[in-house]
Amino acid sequence: MKTELTGMNPAELTDWCKDQGLPGFRGKQIFQWIHRGVDFDGMSNLPASLRENLKEEAIAQPVSIRTTRVSALDGTVKFLFALLDGNCVEGVLMRYHHGCTLCISTQVGCRMGCAFCASTLEGCVRNLTAGEMLGEILCANRFLVESGEPDTKVHNVVLMGSGEPLDNYDETVRFLRLLREPEGVNLSLRGVSLSTCGLVDRMNRFAEEGLPVTLSVSLHAPNDGIRKKLMPVANRWPIDQVLAASRNYVEKTGRRVIFEYALVDGVNADPAQAVELASRLRHLQCHVNLIPLNDVPERGLKGVSEAQVKRFLDTLTEHRISATRRREMGDDIEGACGQLRRREINRTSETEDHDD
């Protein structure tokens, strides 16, 4: 079985090279090439014989781009990333005035079962490795270069694609530490947001890691009764415990928490529910990100009107809760999480059935 090198830090790559009978300095060279998105054939300061040997023993780039869709509306790019085992995950590259943000996946599918999310419909196939998560960023950076933007790179990262990052805890933390390696991608973790559906024990553990990322908590309800209808995790972790873990994260990191709130027609979008939400969030250093739901036909859930969004937002603001409506991007390219992967799965299934 080949060794995936993408998830190793410089010290680990140096040790690996020594174990292979190579000079330790080769580890730093390989690390730098990997983080530029280069495979072994392109590592020009390595002897040709060594590059051939490395191809036999190891993997430098575990992720490639299978499908790319570019929005004609705002330039958002939706990627379907191919993994070496045949699985695929999604990523979304969004352009803002301050730079490019990439939304990445942390698992193939998801086992959290949230009613409004297409990523969870087939369950969780497996966790991604830290190297595969990093590989999504390297693919996006290569895409930008090949698109004629050699000076543009991914500037911010959000772990909000398919999967629950804290359900894949160890690999997610390793990935975050790799992100800030000076000889690598070298991103500030203050430009990273991690989304969780509210795994309280993992939230508290993550607060101790010393990683200054922004925690985005998928709340989506003002009380446990509504939350249990939308999110099975609410049966394990009541909303009061989720909010207590959020307060702990603020205290330990000094970073405000973002609460994601998908507005679902007839479920959680009434102004009275905004008042209840505001009462729970009072005195907590936070911001509410309102998300008009993308319809999920498989679950019978529908989004809300702009008027409903405005009423909910105005109510929160009146109660002195910081809140905004999330900017929608990539609507014409199935920008919402899980849609493109699900279409690919269905297409492949239909092809196989036809072949039979």
DSSP letters, 134-199, are HHHHHHHHHHHHHTT-TT--EEEEEE-SSS-GGGGHHHHHHHHHHHT-TTTT---GGGEEEEES--
Average pLDDT score over the chain: 92
What is the SS3 string spanning 14-67?
Answer: HHHHHHCCCCCHHHHHHHHHHCCCCCHHHCCCCCHHHHHHHHHHEECCCEEEEE
Mean pLDDT of 282-288: 97
| pLDDT at res. 338 | 58
Least confident of 131-145, 183-197, 318-332: 318-332
Amino acid 288 reads V
Q: What is the pLDDT of residues 246-270, one digit of tens each?
A: 999 999 999 999 999 999 999 999 9
Query: Edge-to-edge strands of the sheet including 99-103?
Result: 63-70, 77-83, 88-96, 99-103, 154-159, 192-196, 214-218, 257-263, 286-292, 323-325
The count of other CB atoms within 10 Å of the CB of residue 88 is 22
The pLDDT confidence band at residue 349, using thresholds 50, 70 and 90, is very low
What is the per-residue pLDDT across 290-311, written as a single tens digit (0 to 9) for each? Answer: 999 876 666 678 889 999 999 9
Residue 352 confidence (pLDDT) above 90: no
According to the model, what pLDDT value does residue 74 have? 87
- In order of their start, the domains of the chain are 3-59 (1.10.150.530), 63-355 (3.20.20.70)
Q: Can you state the angle between helices 271-281 and 239-253, rounded to 10 degrees?
A: 50
The structure tokens listed for 251 are 């205290």
The pLDDT value recorded for residue 255 is 97
Residues designated as active site: 90, 337
pTM of the model: 0.91
Q: What is the pLDDT of residue 301?
A: 84
For residue 185, name the pLDDT band (cuts at 50, 70, 90).
very high
